[in-house]
Structure 1
């Protein structure tokens, strides 16, 4: 069985983190984002994934990363490069021959947006699709801010979607499109070739034709629209790991204390007297000195925190460093940012390769 992973662009909206790494390769809980999505697809029985992405934006290390992931996961990964931006549905049309084996394969296939993370009940979604026999089945979830997404109106008796509205200005429903689908190959007949078409244009027509089904997600879901959504997703993922993979979480030692869910890479070092957690991820080759307090934060590879610093609700980029006695709150640091000793950072967003020698007391972007 096949699946499609849709990558709209590589920079995404998680700047400054994605200024140094493409979004799919950005580390999330010590694995790349794309690894989590590919692992979920493999667990659902997928053997081949077609990765749709723009041709003009391919990062230098992309091909090597895909080859490594293919070997590590045992999945066949094939890239479909768009010569021109085609939109989410247009990208799918561009990959039609790869998905259908030039029209000889009529099996349904899974589609996942690359900027989405969730609990991925893909086997259940596939079964729901096969049961209803419609052209498409959407994974949906409930949202307190539905106007920010594609909203669906569902017939609760059948699960069929009667209306699909993109970012409605008035309340329509609290159920939204998760960006995870199962489609039958008949969908390709609905997409115009060589044109830019988004899913939000395609899905309303399918709903009107009564060819769109739904399944309500019971687990967590997040669309990575900001670094704040990234941090919220970390907390949810670690909570799931507490039940599904407890061995992946750290425990207290005689030298430091762990509170709540914490993930520490084996190559990282943590000094004496530290208190770490909850919702903390410490990446490869990170160095945390003595007396540090870490809470609701992620340290990406090579980040360093000097003694007696406090880091809360923040992300430290690749190779960034925090000086002694610093207090960093609600901030995001790009790659190789150096924060000097005894500074306050409150709501700072710092682009890569910067050295901070002053306090930032209110939200500010440092360019």
Structure 2
């Protein structure tokens, strides 16, 4: 039985929390562990033989994905990849319904739906087996988080014996469960009946409500989490598969650093000789990914959990740890970069120090409180920022094209 997959990629009016990194590249194409965020979901889908087509749905301009789709089509020949552009933001379920004819073409038996902005071990094969075993209509991937952060996500209550979902609330005001929605779904074709019913109900509500329509139908905007999953929880056939693998959201720019660590660790553990992985040595602490055009001085110490992009240069005596360096970055001699992201063309001077604060890969926040104010835990330098010799940048976000000649701590430099 054939299957399809939909990856929800959003659009340029979303992902504002990923700025300033998304000023140059859409969040889903930002490199994590040396590859675009989108790539990691495609790798998981390629391991499912029944998937013959992957559809990206969003409202970016078509040109945004044109080049990457060519690369991906060559790298993943087992399925075709297409981008379907919404004429406006329709919501996570509205886009599915709008393109239902394209999705149902070829009569697929099952449909994976994946949010692009997650980092996961993607247990898709296990979800398929679970789906068939339960004779389910819908399966949601769930994961456990600390109770104090669960309310930031969609929370699930399931039958302990059968794993049937009996209650779902998106970002509840009080504690319901620490089992949360991990943003991966497996549906049968009946999901479109549920979306249609939700759309009809929303249209009926709009008749008696006052909206600023802008001459557009508000019932077209539907969200999987708030409008659909709540309905599914009131029916039979909706189950949760609880993953034991790693998972986290990639919402903020800082969250790319722990996601980078998770993907690098997985790659190092499963494919020690994978292309791009630097060989462990006295100065390379694995895992480290380095583009073949990057240069690391033999006296520099790099790792763990570092990704180094094309044409990046790390000078003598430099120290780099828990960081992402994009293309054409340069770290001069004896400089230090820790818990940081350096965007394209960033220059870090000799004896300079760019650092964030340690963050655990399973920690679902990238902020911390310093001196009574909440600041970014990861230091982020946007495109073409220059840090002068012996300058220290700590827990700060610096927007593009800035020349920093004095120390900065806990600030956003506009």
Which one of 279, 284, 288 corresponds to residue 314 of structure 2?
288
Mapping of residues 68-107 of structure 1, within 5 Å: 68-74=71-77, 75-101=79-105, 105-107=107-109
Alignment of 1:22-101 (within 5 A): 22-45=26-49, 46-54=51-59, 57-58=60-61, 60-74=63-77, 75-101=79-105
Report Cα offsets for 1:322-363 as digits up to 9, x if no partner: 111101011101111111111000011111222212210x21
- Return the match for 1:177 from 157, 178, 181: 181
Name 1:341's counterpart in structure 2: 389
Q: 1:247 maps to which residue?
A: 273
Question: How many pairs were matched up?
Answer: 360
Query: Please, what TM-score do these two structures have when normalized by structure 2?
Result: 0.84
Q: Give the whole-Å Cα distance in 1 for the aligned partners of 2:350 and 2:64.
A: 34
Residues 280 and 286, structure 2, Cα contact 8 Å, conserved in 1: no
Q: Distance in 2 between the 1:31 and 1:235 partners?
A: 13
Instruction: Tell me what 2:157 maps to.
Output: 153
Unaligned runs of 5+ in 2: 200-218, 357-378
Contact 2:278 2:286 in 1 (8 A): no
Q: Which residue of 1 aligns with 2:132?
A: 130
**Runs of 4+ in structure 1 displaced over 6 angstroms?**
none
1:322 to 344, 348, 352: 348
Picking from 222, 232, 250, the partner of 1:197 is 222
Measured in 2, the distance between the counterparts of 1:354 and 1:91 equals 39
2:54 counterpart SS class = strand
Q: TM-score, normalised by structure 1?
A: 0.94
Alignment-derived partner of residue 230 in structure 1 = 256
Counterpart Cα distance in 1 of 2:92 and 2:384:
34
Q: Which residue of 2 aligns with 1:260?
A: 286
CA distance in structure 2 between the partners assigned to 1:139 and 1:286 by the alignment: 37
What is the Cα-based RMSD across aligned positions, in Å? Answer: 1.5
Q: Name the CA distance, whole Å, in 2 between partners of 1:90 and 1:39.
A: 26
**Structure 1 residue ranges without an equivalent (≥5):** none
Note if contact 1:267-1:286 (Cα within 8 Å) is conserved in structure 2. yes
Secondary structure, in 3 states, of the residue corresponding to 2:337? strand
1:237-287 per-position Cα deviation (integer Å, ceiling 9, x unaligned): 12211211111332245xx60123211221110113211111111111110
Instruction: Indicate the SS of the match to 1:203.
Output: helix
Q: CA deviation at 1:94?
A: 1.5
Is the 1:309–1:322 Cα contact (8 Å) retained in structure 2? yes
Residues 65, 83 of structure 2: 8 Å contact kept: no
Q: Deviations over 1:27-47 (max 9, x none)?
A: 111111111111111112222
Q: Is the 8 A contact 1:86 1:195 kept in 2?
A: yes
Single out whichever of 304-313 and 59-68 deviates more from structure 2. Answer: 59-68
1:269 is aligned, of 295, 317, 325, to 295
Aligned 8 A contact 1:30 1:284 in 2 = no
What displacement does 1:140 show? 0.3
Alpha-carbon distance in structure 2 between the residues aligned to 1:60 and 1:354: 29
